[in-house]
Amino acid sequence: MPTGTINPPSSQLGWRETSSQPGTGLTIGVLAMQGAFVEHLRILTKLGATVREVRLPHDLEGLDGIILPGGESTTIGKLLEAWGVLMPLRSAIAQGLPCWGTCAGAILMARDVSDTLPGQPLLSVMDISIRRNAFGRQVQSFETDLIIEGMDKDVPFPAMFIRAPKIESVGPDATAIATLDDGTIVAARQGTWLATSFHPELTSDPRFHAWFLDIARANLGQSSL
């Protein structure tokens, strides 16, 4: 089936350009093609960010950061390509747009991906190697507490893994910021980019989202100098 037969969406779900507490001064996009994007929009809005669903190239204009949600990376990749967002998103991120990929989103960001489908469209921007579905099937999903480098170590972060990828290596430009007890890397950072194998949007702890907003705010300060 030619990918061109997937029609772009004609309307938003209602999250566009809204905020319950205007004041952070940040506009954060959430890629809203498939997967757990509503949960990200909800937490960002609670934290005071102005949020925007991203489905088409013009949705990228003026963003201070973007989140790529979990879901199914093969589907999201196809839609990115079909709706013309793959190339503009890749160049916006490559030019320094703060970006955080959760699970499928981390797969899209990784420069090197194992166990892809043939021809799977990817953004391939971040200096990490990742393996899809590396923890097994959906029924092998699990939750665990993690110490995250750069976050309060006294309060471990509740991390939910759903048919998650493993980050098999990082660097030289990226660093690991969280590992499981067996040393498996499950989160990485490269400047203003974050990649997590797990889903902070599915737990009630907003610290990861608050941290991403801090990164976006710091980046704004730097780029306006």
Binding site for ligand GLN (CB under 6 A): 70-73, 103-104, 107, 132-133, 162-163
Beta carbon of residue 143, minimum distance to ligand GLN (angstroms, whole number)? 13
Closer residue to ligand GLN, CB minimum distance, 34 or 50: 34
Q: Is the CB of 92 or the CB of 103 nearer to ligand GLN?
A: 103
Closest distance to ligand GLN from the beta carbon of 131 (Å): 10
We find the least distance from the C-beta atom of residue 33 to ligand GLN, in angstroms, to be 12
Q: Which is nearer to ligand GLN, 67 or 104 (CB)?
A: 104
Closest to ligand GLN by CB, 68 vs 92, is 68
Cite the active site residues: 103, 199, 201
Q: What is the DSSP string of the chain?
A: --GGGSPPPS---S-TTB-SSTTS--EEEEE-SSSSHHHHHHHHHHTT-EEEEE-SGGGGTT-SEEEE-SS-HHHHHHHHHHTT-HHHHHHHHHTT--EEEETHHHHHHEEEEESPPTT------EEEEEETTTT-SGGG-EEEEE--TTS-TTSPEEEEESS--EEEEE-SS-EEEEE-TT--EEEEEETTEEEESS-GGGSS--HHHHHHHHHHHHHHHHHT-
Partners of 50 in beta bridges: 27
Tell the smallest beta-carbon distance from residue 167 to ligand GLN (Å).
13
